[in-house]
Structure 1
Amino acid sequence: MTSALTRPARDEAEGRPRTRLESLTGLRWFAAFGVFFSHVAILLPVPYTNELFILGTAGVTFFFVLSGYVLTWTFFAEDTAPRFYGRRFARIWPSLFITTVAAVALLVGGLLWPTEGGTSLVWWTVATLLLVQAWIPASFQSDTVPHTVSWSLSCEAFFYAVFPFAVRPILRRTLRQLAVLAVVLIAISLGTRAWLWLANPQLTLENWFVSDLYYFTTHSPIARVSEFLLGIVIAAAVRRGWRSPVGLRAATGITVGYFALLWAWSWSGVWPTALAEAANRGSIVVFALLIAAAATNDLAGRRSLLSSRPLVALGRWSYAFYLVHFLVLFPIARQVFGLRSLYDFPQPSWAHLPYVLAGLAVSLVLSWALYRCYEYPIEKRLRALLRREPREPKAASPAPGAEPSM
């Protein structure tokens, strides 16, 4: 998910830009890595790190913006909705299926949180596999949802449904219109979250996770679609010839600086719960800047650390890593420290650190194996079948090298 060098394969005038944007694949790994540590902060907290690690929740925001960008970048004028849906199914559903089956097995085997099982487990498993769980607020308070991180895929499924109908009108906009649209989408994303916080000052760290507002502002596909649409707008501007005036190093520095400021803010003790929300929503701006800068860098033919082979490989594994990491961390926390619930927050301890590192190592090995032995081969076969195209030669680079998965 491919040479590290960018190479256009067709004239962009045909509406089919084919330059590989490998830096975006490398960036995917850092986003997945951030999500991993946000769950470490919940399940295996380490002293003095929680305020930093919890900022990793913004990794999902990055994936939503990136998804809109890459799908628009690889869109071509003669594409059809059925073909697009077929490619998306081949890309995300097989790995969702196998990891959901694994999650159910762990749940029934007593390695995850206690559950009532039975009909409720069957219902939530079906909802997960049909990618509709993010539309059901109760899914975030039920102990029979087997695959908790899959909520973002439910959001993505909605984004995919919208994409064929949104991309063409957006691609027809002028650069000035696209700029206005980007500002509007950012204002909607930030404004909605700010209004909810100001209108509900009673929300605290203790009651936030079980409130309907938590569902609406964090997991609802409607609440998150502006992030995906912003990615479409940025890609449309780049396809029209716009290039980021901010270089990749500067954009990286701005992103790091932004999260450093949030981390510093966390030590002030002001609005500790709002911090994670500010990271998720405020990060939409710095992530848009970073994605545009990385794409511009690749289009100019410049190499970067992000397009290096190790990071591109990790980026390809990032979808599998995202799906398996929670299923690794929770059993460790449960077996070693007796963690009993998703809302049973243990106290930070240095004794957790070796288990965090072990969880990271196991997650990496499993994600590599899942990608190489299952995800990529199954995707190739399904894409060939659904599009009625011959399968790629065995030695071909993975395609689509930079496509998002979350």
Structure 2
Amino acid sequence: MTRAAQQAPPAERRPSLDSLTGLRFLAAMAVVLSHFTETGLVQVDSWVVNALDSGRTAVSLFFVLSGFVLAYNYRELAGRVPRWNFYVARLARIYPVVLLGIAIGALGVVYAWTRPNLLLSWFALESADLGLLASLGAQLTMTTGWLPFAALNQPWNGPAWSISCEMFFYALFPLLIIWFRRWSRPTVAVAALTVWVAQGLWIAVLTHYVPANRGGFLIAQFPLTHLAEFVLGIAAWRLWSGNPIDRRIRGIALAGTMAALVTIALWAPISPAYWPMTPLFALLVVLLAARGKARSWLALPVMLLLGEASYSLYLLHLPLVRVYEMVGVPPGPAGWVVMAATVLISVVVFTWYEAPLRRFIRRRLARPTPTAMTTREVAGS
């Protein structure tokens, strides 16, 4: 360690955003419930899955959360070494569970290898060929979201497409945070509105002028399409910047935001639903963050643990579903049992695999800096 680093003042401890950590678990469970229902392991009324848009709106909430919390924790990010440590921290958080998801997903790939009907229904593959190797390469390099072919982005671990988006966002974040930090609040608001409107126009073009088999992918999974959600998360932090919000005003705004989100989810006036929801997600995140140390059921110890394990839950649940299908878990009560078991598995993975490996990678690869940038990671920081 350098002399400057040894003499550095203690790292700033920013207040943890515990309510956002609990919110992450709810978002992850929306995706899990959708996939367990779509695969037939559990049965819920169709309107529930439709309201969740098969989990797609929850993933957009993840992207907004990611932008907000990264801006909150790395608001002063600048300089070569801090940027290096930022990227190390992102890799340490993401990659160990990516590899575990591929390993579990390999069980399903091997099982379906000699079963063409399963290859087609599970992975959109008509036969086991070099496409599986290409798909594996995309999974290992976290690029599946850039490939508009189901046969390449569905094998091994389908939900990993969102990791392609996150890695893209992480690459841009050091530049984005400099811009948003320098801009005035009115400029930030105009920029956020412009990006959101541009996303809507892009979606409209894809819907009307691109064949459905390609346009649907570009709307649902393409990283460039979802950049607006990450940007709105950063903008939400910059517009709020930790300023207190009157408790009564916050309560009224929170109730109105939730009512608007539920109305859009049930009514679905615009498709995809995540587009009109994104600004509301940004407002929801600010209102929950502004609670500070005020009590919230989202910040209960059990919700904090489940929220911290939500990344493992999100990335491992579908490979585990294939295992459940392989061993013949019947739909109905047994499906609910294995879904609960999946949540418990995510807690175990977080406690004994994800968190220790994250610390190990950061210790080995991070470089000492005069001013430490790290804080407790919450809500996907």
TM-score by length of 2: 0.83
2:286 to 271, 289, 292: 292
Partner of 2:380 in structure 1? 404
The 1:177–1:246 alpha-carbon spacing in structure 2 relative to 1, beyond 3 Å, is farther
1:283 to 257, 277, 281: 277
The 1:60–1:39 alpha-carbon spacing in structure 2 relative to 1, beyond 3 Å, is same
Q: Percent identity?
A: 25
* Cα shift at 1:335: 5.5
Partner of 2:70 in structure 1? 71
Amino acid of the residue matched to residue 23 of structure 1? S
Measured in 1, the distance between the counterparts of 2:169 and 2:179 equals 16
Measured in 1, the distance between the counterparts of 2:141 and 2:153 equals 19
CA displacement 1:225-267 (0-9 Å, x = unmatched): 111111111112233747589855445434442343245436x
The 1:328–1:102 alpha-carbon spacing in structure 2 relative to 1, beyond 3 Å, is closer
Q: Does residue 169 of structure 1 match 2:165?
A: no
Partner of 1:360 in structure 2? 339
Measured in 2, the distance between the counterparts of 1:177 and 1:214 equals 32
1:183 to 180, 184, 193: 193
2:137 to 126, 139, 149: 126
Measured in 1, the distance between the counterparts of 2:182 and 2:282 equals 20
Superposition RMSD in Å: 3.1
CA displacement 1:292-348 (0-9 Å, x = unmatched): 0011112xx3121111111111100100000111122244346649xxxxxxxxxxx
CA displacement 1:335-391 (0-9 Å, x = unmatched): 649xxxxxxxxxxxxx833243123112112101110110000101111111256xx
Amino acid of the residue matched to residue 103 of structure 2? V
The 1:168–1:245 alpha-carbon spacing in structure 2 relative to 1, beyond 3 Å, is farther
The 1:141–1:117 alpha-carbon spacing in structure 2 relative to 1, beyond 3 Å, is closer
Q: What SS does the aligned partner of 1:145 have?
A: coil
Q: Is the Cα contact below 8 Å between 1:22 and 1:307 reproduced in 2?
A: yes
Measured in 1, the distance between the counterparts of 2:287 and 2:101 equals 34
1:325 to 277, 301, 317: 317
CA displacement 1:182-208 (0-9 Å, x = unmatched): 2222222333324444x25x98xxxx5
Q: Is the Cα contact below 8 Å between 1:246 and 1:293 reproduced in 2?
A: no
TM-score by length of 1: 0.78
Q: Is the Cα contact below 8 Å between 1:28 and 1:315 reproduced in 2?
A: yes
Q: Does residue 154 of structure 1 match 2:164?
A: yes
Choose 318-327 or 16-25, whichever is displaced more.
16-25
Q: Is the Cα contact below 8 Å between 2:199 and 2:228 reproduced in 1?
A: yes
Measured in 2, the distance between the counterparts of 1:319 and 1:47 equals 24
Partner of 2:352 in structure 1? 373
Q: Is the Cα contact below 8 Å between 1:39 and 1:54 reproduced in 2?
A: no
Q: What SS does the aligned partner of 2:112 have?
A: coil
Q: Is the Cα contact below 8 Å between 1:178 and 1:233 reproduced in 2?
A: yes
* Cα shift at 1:38: 2.1
Measured in 2, the distance between the counterparts of 1:399 and 1:318 equals 19
1:32 to 21, 28, 31: 28
Q: Is the Cα contact below 8 Å between 2:138 and 2:153 reproduced in 1?
A: no
Measured in 2, the distance between the counterparts of 1:142 and 1:126 equals 9
The 1:222–1:128 alpha-carbon spacing in structure 2 relative to 1, beyond 3 Å, is same
Q: Is the Cα contact below 8 Å between 1:41 and 1:54 reproduced in 2?
A: no
The 1:147–1:399 alpha-carbon spacing in structure 2 relative to 1, beyond 3 Å, is farther
Gaps of 5+ in 1: 1-9, 338-350, 390-397
